[in-house]
A and B are shown apart, each in its own frame.
Chain A
Amino acid sequence: MIFEKIKFATEQEKVVLIKFFNYPILKFYQKYEEEKKHYNILPVLKKNYKYCASSNTDVFYLKINREDQYTYHNLQHWINIVYEYGGDFYIICDNLELEKKVYQNIKFRNHNVKIIKSIRNDYLTKIVKYIATPLWVKATYAQLTTFLHSKEHNIKSFWNIDADDTMFCIPPKVAAEFLNKVKEKAKEDNIDAFSFDMHRSRTNGHHWSFGITYIQNNLKWFNLFEQNNDTKWRDKYLDLDYEFNLDWFFTYLKDNDIAKCETYSTEDMLFIHYGDIIANPIYAWIGIWQNNKIKFPILLDLYGSKKYGEIESYKDIIKIRTNINLDDCYKYMTKYHSYLEISSKQHDNMWGKEDNIDE
């Protein structure tokens, strides 16, 4: 579409965004309590076009791709976390339909919303060619976009988040505190890429993966990417996978001490990696971090598999100390991430009374 008009509402104002070939050229907004309309020409180029006006310069790249109900739920949680963190964010989304639905479904605090597409240029294509196998090409462009965009915008450090399918079951403020501690640890120990333990323990240390990752741009990442002129780096891992991606390339960088890539987790934490948790419970799961172990209730309690349902936290995982409490995680999940405590006519009349679920 040449011109497109997108309407959305934030907590403070009604917004109309005019796009020309998907690039925002004009924005009108009107605060709820005011009559006066404001406008910005080429809003993204405006100084202080930041979601949070604080001095915290960390940027969150929120990558989304899946079009599912949980996408909006998870993304909303991440947007709230970014606000509590005092950061700024870019949503990376290559699906125009999904982008439109994000405007409809997400409640932003203000109108400084930036949604960008993956960068696909010759420069990245040369890099992707030696990193990803066909299955992972799209995802690798999206991943590398976070590196290239941050480099071009002189961003010193950033969060690279799979925002459509990951959820810390804790209030946004607590999650923001946790991520701040992760950032501090990364800075203290000069960690280049510091990622949440989504797969490291499960793969018994075979694999390092992205997901919720703090990246420091002290390292010249693109020098490393450019120097990689073949796929020989995969040789050591050919026994372990059929398809290769940026996660595997970082596993290689870590294993060969080329970059300091580490993994963090915490105790008494509930985390959800959304997807088909019944059909594919190794890949999509609810995980509980407790006593140096990770429990997967679907595998443990439903399928009765102690072997796969309770695993040791891998030895090189860095534990971040927090005050997060597992009971609070359960309460948070029940209250905010399920319908269980949302009162409705159906709920009240059909099963609420007998089950006393609000007690």
Chain B
Amino acid sequence: MKLFYIEKISLKQEKLRNFKFLNFTLIKYRTNGREYNIEYFPKTKEIINKDVPFFYLKVNSYSEYTIKALQHWIDIINYMNGDFIIICDKDRLKKFILKEVKFYNENIKFIKSIKKPLRKIVKEIITGFWAKAAHAHLTTFFHAQKYKIQEFWNVDADDTIIAASPKEVACLLKKVEQYAIDNDISLFSYDMWRSRTRAKAWTFGVTYTRNNSQLVELFKKADRKWQKDYINCDQALNIDWFCTYLKNNNLAKIETFYFENCYFLHMGDFIFDPVGKFISCFKSNKVIFPLLCNLYNNYKMGEIPVSNDCIKIDTLKDVKDSLNFIQTLFVYNKNDYPEKLKRLWEIE
């Protein structure tokens, strides 16, 4: 860590510069472009608001889409009047996020994965290369336990995008929360893999969590015996597989949800890994993967039935709106092109 450094933070209305010595802020400079303000030795206190929808946003990948995806989640949380903590183990990525993502206020909380206290539990749950991810996942549960947060969202915020406006997504997520409460579901996750694996696996990704103390107890009690029925299912077992085991053995109520007429993006290399990284859309009881259909001409993999046990939460009015959202979110928005480039590329 540097002795002296400047932390750059972007807010929706203004920019902040924290002049720091080690981790201590000496000077806070803020400007909205017209006026500026300087505070010496500012008092900063991170507030965890437990009375509003709470999000753990896990980030790890360092890519252009990291910012797009995370910004979308921050906007959604704003519409839900929620609070969040970003779990990030990379200092460089943290700096990048603070600079590039536009936050709504200064209550920006970063934590790192809890390592040592969870090592024993992780050892009983995972095999192979999943240790880092398991620490990050378990951090959400154990941090929430420490701060007495019983309900929260656990989100892979660097590579998942629900393609609808933040306001619409906020509305959808509230319906998910209500469904989970009405049906006493402890882990309620978006269908990223359930249908693809023909209900063999249950996975995290965008997950609403309730009854946290109960889940924490289950994690603490985990011993490797659970792996015997799953060891041949995958290259390595992760916390998702442990939760699949909990679900299959009715040890916790764990379910999967989806939204119809709404695109979902799992960002990454869509060409090289078109099953792992995908754009999907739920339509008429099917999950459609347009890139597999249209690019690889592979309709067998590109159009699959929605798994029977997935719960439809809502249907968006028009799937085109969702597609338009992808276009406006990304660069392919003709209004974003500078005038000269519009002439060069003949974009009208």
**Chain B count of residues within 8 A CB distance of the other chain:** 49
B316 at the interface (CB under 8 A from A): no
A254 at the interface (CB under 8 A from B): no
List of A residues within 8 angstroms of B276 by Cβ: 339
Task: Tell me the complex Cα distance, A276–B345, Å.
Answer: 17
Task: Tell me the complex Cα distance, A213–B65, Å.
Answer: 31
B234 adjacent to A279 (CB under 8 Å):
no
Please give the distance in Å from A294's CB to the nearest CB on chain B: 14
A357 adjacent to B298 (CB under 8 Å):
yes
State the majority secondary structure of interface residues on B: loop
Chain B residues 300 to 348 lying within 8 A of chain A, measured CB to CB, are 300-301, 304, 320, 323, 326-327, 330-332, 338, 340-341, 343-347
Please give the distance in Å from B169's CB to the nearest CB on chain A: 18
List of A residues within 8 angstroms of B326 by Cβ: 278, 303
Task: Tell me the complex Cα distance, A206–B68, Å.
Answer: 32
List of A residues within 8 angstroms of B291 by Cβ: 298, 302
Please give the distance in Å from A101's CB to the nearest CB on chain B: 15
Known: A203-B346, A274-B271, A302-B294. A356 touches B300 (CB 8 A): yes
List of A residues within 8 angstroms of B133 by Cβ: none
B269 adjacent to A281 (CB under 8 Å):
no
Task: Tell me the complex Cα distance, A204–B345, Å.
Answer: 8
List of B residues within 8 angstroms of A356 by Cβ: 300
List of B residues within 8 angstroms of A206 by Cβ: 343-344, 346
**A238 (CB) vs chain B CBs: closest residue:** B340
B197 adjacent to A351 (CB under 8 Å):
yes
B234 adjacent to A70 (CB under 8 Å):
no
A337 adjacent to B271 (CB under 8 Å):
yes
B82 at the interface (CB under 8 A from A): no
Binds B, one of A8-16, A183-191, A340-348: A340-348
A297 adjacent to B298 (CB under 8 Å):
no
Proximity bits, A318-342, B CB within 8 Å = 1, else 0: 0000000000001001100111100
List of B residues within 8 angstroms of A202 by Cβ: 345
Chain B residues 261 to 301 lying within 8 A of chain A, measured CB to CB, are 265, 267, 269-276, 279, 290-291, 293-298, 300-301
A350 adjacent to B197 (CB under 8 Å):
yes
**A301 (CB) vs chain B CBs: closest residue:** B294
Known: A276-B64, A279-B330, A302-B279. A297 touches B340 (CB 8 A): no
A242 at the interface (CB under 8 A from B): yes
With a 10 A CB-CB cut-off, give which of B197, B295, B296, B330 has the most chain A CB atoms. Answer: B295
List of A residues within 8 angstroms of B272 by Cβ: 69-70, 73, 337-339
Pick from A282, A337, A349: contact of B232, CB below 8 A.
A349
Task: Tell me the complex Cα distance, A354–B232, Å.
Answer: 17
A355 at the interface (CB under 8 A from B): yes
B216 at the interface (CB under 8 A from A): no
**B263 (CB) vs chain A CBs: closest residue:** A302
A282 adjacent to B347 (CB under 8 Å):
yes
A272 at the interface (CB under 8 A from B): yes
A340 adjacent to B275 (CB under 8 Å):
yes
Chain B residues 167 to 185 lying within 8 A of chain A, measured CB to CB, are none
**A311 (CB) vs chain B CBs: closest residue:** B346
B70 at the interface (CB under 8 A from A): no
B232 adjacent to A345 (CB under 8 Å):
yes
Pick from B64, B301, B343: contact of A355, CB below 8 A.
B301
Task: Tell me the complex Cα distance, A282–B331, Å.
Answer: 9
A174 at the interface (CB under 8 A from B): no
Known: A204-B346, A278-B265, A339-B275. A301 touches B290 (CB 8 A): yes
Task: Tell me the complex Cα distance, A297–B320, Å.
Answer: 17
List of B residues within 8 angstroms of A303 by Cβ: 323, 326-327, 332
A241 at the interface (CB under 8 A from B): yes
User: What 5 A-B pairs are tightest by C-beta distance, nearest first?
Assistant: A301-B294, A279-B330, A240-B344, A280-B331, A350-B197
- Given contacts A279-B331, A299-B332, A337-B271, 4 further A-B pairs with CB under 8 A are A302-B290, A338-B296, A345-B235, A349-B200
Binding site for A on B (CB under 8 A): 64-65, 68, 196-198, 200-201, 232-235, 265, 267, 269-276, 279, 290-291, 293-298, 300-301, 304, 320, 323, 326-327, 330-332, 338, 340-341, 343-347
A-B contact pairs, 15 of them (CB 8 A): A202-B345, A203-B345, A241-B340, A272-B271, A279-B330, A279-B331, A302-B323, A304-B320, A308-B347, A338-B272, A339-B272, A350-B196, A350-B201, A351-B196, A357-B301
